[in-house]
Amino acid sequence: MTLFLLTLACPADGPGDGHAASDTAPHPQDSPPGETGTSAETGDAAETGATEEPATVALAFSSTDAAIDNPERGLYTWAYLEHTDVSTLRAEGYTLVYTPLVLADHRDSAIPQSTIDTWSAGFDRLREAGLKAIVRATYTDYDTGEYDDASADRILEHIAQLEPLLATHADVIATQQAGWMGAWGEWHSSTNGLFDDEATWTGVLDAIVAALPEHRTVQLRTPMFKQTAYGGPLDATDAFSGTPAARVGHHNDCFLASDTDWGTYPEHAIETYKDFVAQEGLYLPVGGETCNDDPARTTCPVATEELERLHWSYLNILWHPDVIERWRNEGCFDEVVQRLGYRFALTDGEVSEAVAPGGLLQLALTLENHGYASPFNPRDVVLVLRSESERHEASLPDDPRTWTAGDAQDLRWTLRLPASLPTGTYDLALWLPDPEPSLRDDERYAIQLANEGLWQAGENVIGSVVVRDDAGGATDPSATVFEAI
């Protein structure tokens, strides 16, 4: 249950205002944006009204341990784009599905347009069902296990064929595993010798990355491939820059299977490459599946420590069943379900008790990420001011991809209200929608905070504010929009 504690603070304690009240106007160089002289938005419209800003009200929030079906994180299941009925998967708690693009019948030919059209229709069904895909193209026949791959030239031809498909449906692609080469598309056992020459496989990798829209990521099966191709590990300076190095993360399909995770890490440098993945996992997707129950590795304390260390966002519920059963029996399965990916929760904050039309709304929130990772795809942050008859949205400059696991974020904003805003009481909601136009208004793709009582139709209602003419504070009579300043 959300609590609104009516603790009044003097102006010097308000978010974004470090100045005590005074009988005289402060010097311009000491003034918060927009309080004297000109409008912070236009730079030419004089403000009016008292310079003493209204008091703030404390906010307190209660967290929840409930499982939350947030997008682009959590347990995933399988779905063939050709035929799987995905309509019930959201109700079963899934937001992610693994979708193999099986090319076993086309090792020696172009992909028929009919196949591409079938896959396109499958992506449409995912969108209707509120899901996103982990995509992998592979030449392995899933029915027979035959794993012959194709020549590099054929792979490059097929990548070019699928580029329009990936662009059209990038909104429902969470990430793409590199695929294409080797058994199961897992970058080993290539029957065409694709890994014999570095220039061959790096050329294919470059084409895979280039074919996917720039705001989406590719994942490699082992960190050694990433380091050879693009260096690293990635740091905050280059993260989210759109370069290939900033767009290629990691998937591990033998997580915890042995000391080396069955070859995921080289025996002579296991910890070195785990550190590599841990660093990159701050900015890039890490996920995959288990493939063997090794009690020295799969026991709950080891598993949860590594999931946290390596910043895992997603995990296959179907494989390996013995490992999943172990976690259920040992009591950490619910923690894994809760903490895969991000898990944002508010702890406290403060907001202006009242604001005049055209005045300044001050808002501060403390947010913690209790998950193993952060979101790895772009995400909007919007403050919504709403009543029964009014709705105003202000885009905020924050990037949830930087809300690091295990850290607390002190979020502070000053927002200008429209001068024409009718007086009354307004809800304030923190809205974290998917930035894709096709998904932005779909509440299934918005992020729900892990707090009691906030979630309403895709938005997190964090408090309220009274708009009244006598609220005090400087106002801008020319302000026309609700916006952060």
Crossing angle of helices 113-129 and 152-168, in 10° steps, is 40
Q: Please say if the pLDDT value at position 300 is more than 60.
A: yes
Give residue 473's pLDDT.
95
Kindly report, residue by residue over 395-450, the tens digit of the pLDDT: 999 999 999 999 999 999 999 999 999 999 999 999 999 999 999 999 999 999 99
What is the fold, at CATH topology level, of the domain defined by 74-339? TIM Barrel (3.20.20)
**Tokens 């792979």, located at residue:** 155
Reduced to 3 states (helix: H, G, I; strand: E, B; else coil), residue 321 is helix
- Spell out where 211-278 has E strands: 218-220, 248-252
Confidence of residue 53 (pLDDT cuts 50, 70, 90): confident
Phi, psi of 211 (to 5 degrees): -75, -20
Which is nearest to 343 in space by CA: 432, 218, 434? Answer: 432
Give residue 7's pLDDT.
34
**Span 3-64+343-484: which CATH code?**
2.60.40.770
Give the single-character DSSP code of 315. E
Please, is 92 exposed, middle or buried when counting C-beta atoms within 10 Å of its C-beta (0-12, 13-18, 19+)? exposed
Beta bridge partners of 436: none
CA angle 414, 370, 278 (to 5 degrees): 105
In one-letter notation, the amino acid at residue 466 is V
Average pLDDT over residues 85-100: 98
Give residue 357's pLDDT.
98
Please, is 43 exposed, middle or buried when counting C-beta atoms within 10 Å of its C-beta (0-12, 13-18, 19+)? exposed
Contact between residue 144 and residue 97 where contact means Cβ atoms under 8 Å apart: no
Beta bridge partners of 367: 346, 409
- In whole angstroms, what is the distance from residue 167 CA to residue 212 CA? 7
Confidence of residue 52 (pLDDT cuts 50, 70, 90): confident
Kindly report, residue by residue over 184-211, the tens digit of the pLDDT: 999 999 999 999 999 999 999 999 999 9
- In whole angstroms, what is the distance from residue 176 CA to residue 228 CA? 19
Give residue 49's pLDDT.
52
Contact between residue 226 and residue 281 where contact means Cβ atoms under 8 Å apart: no
In one-letter notation, the amino acid at residue 58 is A
Using only C-alpha atoms, the chain has a radius of gyration, in whole angstroms, of: 26
Q: Please say if the pLDDT value at position 1 is more than 90.
A: no
Instruction: Identify the residue with better confidence: 7 or 67.
Output: 67
Which is nearest to 135 in space by CA: 182, 181, 99? Answer: 99
Q: Please say if the pLDDT value at position 18 is more than 90.
A: no
Domain with CATH 3.20.20 in the chain: 74-339
Domain with CATH 2.60.40.770 in the chain: 3-64+343-484
Instruction: Identify the residue with better confidence: 16 or 359.
Output: 359
Average pLDDT over residues 284-311: 98
Q: Please say if the pLDDT value at position 147 is more than 60.
A: yes
Q: Please say if the pLDDT value at position 5 is more than 90.
A: no
Confidence of residue 47 (pLDDT cuts 50, 70, 90): low
Phi, psi of 107 (to 5 degrees): -65, -30
**Tokens 């996992």, located at residue:** 281
Beta bridge partners of 412: 364
**pTM (global) more than 0.85:** yes
Mean pLDDT estimate for the chain: 91
